[in-house]
Amino acid sequence: MKFPVIAFCLLMLVAGCTRPIAKSAVTVPSPAMISFLQGLTDQCAEKELNVFFISPVVKMDGARRVYVYWMTDNSILPLSWPLDQVRDSNGYLSEYARRMDLASRVVPAQKDIGSSTYLTDSDWVAARLRECVGSGTKLLVHKKRDDKRMETNRR
């Protein structure tokens, strides 16, 4: 009776099933990022529930960047890291204007960009989406209700 139990344990050891489980690679976004995305959602989001995927920090040309895929808005936000504190609605609107709208600002190939400063190619978008969704952190943000704004809209 003990032989099958020992054989099973040896099989698990050889198969690697008894190794300690690796720690999860999931990271919690910084308080600055959470605050920024909450403010952006409150000021600019159309829907109440918004889904974001935040890439790991990437170094490009000496600068540190974070890309945020705003799934609900179908856009990518390129952000400098660490984030500057955005204090008012104009700051959020400025960041919102810099986003890459995936429905209207993506062309099939690099050659299709021409001299445009606001278009990007589908390869760039695919790479950013891999960083955000594949290696990043998912964050759900609920739009806060502003009672004063709600009353103004009802009139």
Quick one: pLDDT at residue 76? Answer: 96
Quick one: pLDDT at residue 153? Answer: 38
Residue type, 132: C
What CA dihedral angle connects 48, 58, 82 and 55, to 10 degrees?
A: 20
Backbone angles phi, psi at 100, to 5 degrees: -95, 105
- Residue 87 burial by Cβ neighbours in a 10 Å radius (0-12, 13-18, 19+): exposed
Q: Where are the beta strands (DSSP E) in the chain?
A: 49-54, 58-60, 63-70, 75-80, 100-101, 106-107, 120-121, 137-142
Quick one: pLDDT at residue 115? Answer: 87
Quick one: pLDDT at residue 86? Answer: 61
**Residue 121: CB partners within 8 Å, gap ≥ 6?**
106, 107, 108, 109, 110, 112, 113
Q: What is the pLDDT along the chain (155 residues), one digit of tens a residue?
A: 444 545 555 545 444 444 444 444 446 788 888 988 999 999 999 999 999 999 999 887 888 889 999 999 999 999 888 877 666 667 777 788 888 999 998 999 888 988 888 888 999 999 999 999 999 999 999 999 764 443 333 33
Phi-psi map region of 14: left, alpha, beta (phi>0 left; psi -120 to 50 alpha): alpha
Please indicate, yes or no, whether the overall pTM of this predicted structure exceeds 0.75. Answer: no
CA distances to 71, 121, 124 from 113, rounded to whole Å, are 24, 7, 12
∠ at Cα 141 (139, 146), nearest 5°?
165
